[in-house]
Structure 1
Amino acid sequence: MSDDATQTRQREIATEHLLFKLMEYVEARHAGLLDFMEQSLDHLGDPATDGTKDDEAVRKIAKGMIVGARKQGVN
C-alpha cells in the first residue's frame, strides 16, 4: 500500500470515529439530530462521473453510520 493510500485510510478512520462521537454527543443533548440526518439521505449522492458512480451505495453507508450511532449512544 502506498503512503498516500495508508494516510487516506488512516484519515478516514479518524474522521469516522470523530463524526460518530459528535453524532452521539449531539443526539444525547438534542434528540432529533439522527432523525434529521436520516431524512436528508434522499439528497445524498455519489459525485463520480464514471462507472463507479453509485448513489445507493453512498446512502447505504450513511444509513449504516446513523444506525450505528443510534445503537452506540453516549455512555
Structure 2
Amino acid sequence: MTDTTAIMARQREIASEHLLFKLMEYVEAQHPGLLDFMEASLDHLGDPATDETKDDAGVRQIAARMITGARKQGVDAG
C-alpha cells in the first residue's frame, strides 16, 4: 500500500518547485540579477539535520541546479 503522506509531500514538492521556478524566471526577466544574487547566497545554505543524513553540499547542489534550470528556462522562454 502507498503511503499517503509521502505522496502528498511529493506532490507539494513538485508544485512548490514549479511555482518557484516560474517566480524566479519572472522576477529575473523584470529585474535582471536575481539569479546571480541567489547564486551568491549559496555558501550560506545548509542542511538543518542534526543526524547522519546532514548534507550541506547536497542541499547546495540542489539549489545550484535549480538556479541553472531557471536560467535555462528563462533563455528558452525568451
CA distance in 2, matches of 1:26, 1:17: 14
| TM-align CA RMSD | 0.9
Identity of aligned residues (%): 75
Please name the residue that 1:34 is paired with. 35
Gaps of 5+ in 1: none
CA distance in 2, matches of 1:20, 1:32: 15
**Aligned residue runs from structure 1 range 1-75, under 5 A:** 1-73=2-74, 75=77
CA distance in 2, matches of 1:31, 1:14: 25
Superposition deviation, residue 61 in structure 1: 0.0
Gaps of 5+ in 2: none
For residues 20-66 of structure 1, what are the alpha-carbon distances to aligned partners after superposition, in whole Å with 9 as ceiling and x for unaligned? 00000000010000000000000000000000000000000000000
Question: Could you tell me the TM-score, scaled by structure 2's length?
Answer: 0.94
CA distance in 1, matches of 2:33, 2:71: 11
Q: How many residue pairs end up in the alignment?
A: 75
